[in-house]
Structure 1
Amino acid sequence: MESHNTILYFVRHAQSAYVEGSEWTRGLTEQGKRDAERVKDLLTGEQPDLFVSSPYRRAVDTILPLAQACGCEIRLEEDLRERALSGAEMGKDRFFDAKRTLFEQQDFAYPGGESSNEARRRASPVIADLLKRHTGKRIVIGTHGDIMTLMLQTYDPSCDFGFWQNTTMPDIYKLEFDMQGELIAKRRLWG
């Protein structure tokens, strides 16, 4: 009997060299490009039906080889962009402490940044809409570590700072939802 469950593949982007001020446009490193090919090899057999991504180039580039192999276009969703963090407070010497604060204090935001709850409120409706409109489909989502963790946290509260800290670039999580949009299984496919 054919399953009517919906499968979401959250694909965190592959390695991308940080360049200040280029959040939207920075692409993948050579290692990132090789890993994007590995993502393609790993997920081609899953026979995805639909591709959705953050508009950031590194997220798109990570799932592009897979989408091309499947003969599919990638639909960009502005609300799947990475969480806005802020400027000075997120310096390299304080990065992990600042991230921990943002995950532990869900309503807290650094000046110019988004709180966990603000970022989740903009991104999670995209996922809910995909589950509602594409029941029974296999959907690949090009995403980022922070926003992926927050979206997953909507369905699994154990996805917290520790979960984020243990993700890799790239990373892949396969989530299965029943016809009512309830999470019934979560499995890591990378690493």
Structure 2
Amino acid sequence: MSTFVYFVRHAQSIFVEGQERKRGLSGKGKLDALTVKEILKVEAIDHFVSSPYERAIETIRPAANEFLNDIRIEEDLRERAIGDFSPLLFNDAKYNIYSDKLLAFPNGESSVTAQERGVHVIERLLNDYKNQKIVIGTHGDIMTLILNYYDIRFDFNFWQTTSMPDIYKLHFEKNKLIDVIRLWDIEST
């Protein structure tokens, strides 16, 4: 039997300094969350899990409501804190922390540390919800790092190609990743 995990990267959110956990979706993000619901509607989802960040929760909430399901919050699915990367530009800083998995900027988190905490949650969910379908409201970095644990092709270059929102369907046999399919069609948004 198979377990399916649907990583849903959060929809568009307006950046507000110091409001990482509380900032919700933009108007476009709210509309895209309805499209996420429509895509997931045909998947017969059993469980909804999310990062504690409001934008991740809001992105999957319409789908959870459609299935009359609560959203289980997992603190360790929070986004990776990049920290103080000055004087580097954002993309250069991202490239560096993906290239050197042990690198952590001041007040930030290394790829290894973030990956370990995220994978721990996924492994637990795979055991708790064997042979079921699980939606996970997530973020670009933590999603990429978790995917990278199972398949090294998911790296900085992959991270750069992801959109807000985005949906990836992961097929697991036991705890082995078999396949990843992108369900979000960025051309239609």
Normalized against structure 2, the TM-score is what?
Answer: 0.96
The reply on whether 1:20 has 2:20 as its aligned counterpart is no
Q: List gaps (5 residues or longer) in structure 1.
A: none
Whole-angstrom distance in 2 between the partners of 1:18 and 1:44: 29
* Residue 182 (structure 1) aligned with residue 176 (structure 2): yes
Q: Distance in 2 between matches of 1:74 and 1:90?
A: 36
Distance in 2 of aligned mates of 1:182 and 1:121: 16
- Partner Cα separation in structure 1 for residue 137 and residue 117 of structure 2: 16
Structure 2 Cα separation of the partners of residues 68 and 121 of structure 1: 31
| Segments of 4+ moved more than 6 angstroms | none
Distance 2:18 2:82 in 1: 13
Q: What is the DSSP-based 3-state SS (H/G/I as helix, E as strand, rest coil) of the residue aligned with 1:117?
A: helix
- Structure 2 unaligned regions, length at least 5: none
Deviation digits for residues 106-152 of structure 1 (CA, Å, limit 9, x no counterpart): 00000010000010111110000111121100000000000000011
| 1:127 maps to 2:116 | no
Secondary structure in 2 matching 1:46: coil
Partner residue in 1 for 2:156: 161
The answer on 1:172 being equivalent to 2:171 is no
Q: In the alignment, residue 20 of structure 2 is paired with which amino acid?
A: E
Relative to 1, partners in 2 of residues 1:66 and 1:90: Cα closer, same or farther, differing over 3 Å? farther
Q: Name the % identity.
A: 52
Q: Distance in 2 between matches of 1:169 and 1:44?
A: 19
What residue number does 2:91 align with?
A: 96
Instruction: Kindly state the Cα deviation for residue 90 of structure 1 after the two structures are TM-superposed.
Output: 5.3
1:9 paired residue number: 6
**Alignment: residue pair count:** 185
**Aligned-residue CA RMSD in angstroms?**
1.0
Q: Distance in 1 between matches of 2:113 and 2:106?
A: 13
- With normalisation by structure 1, the TM-score equals 0.95
2:82 is aligned with 1:85: yes
Q: How does 1:8-157 map to 2 (within 5 A)?
A: 8-87=5-84, 89=85, 94-157=89-152
Output the amino acid matched with 1:29. S
CA displacement at 1:156 relative to structure 2: 1.0
Whole-angstrom distance in 1 between the partners of 2:114 and 2:170: 20
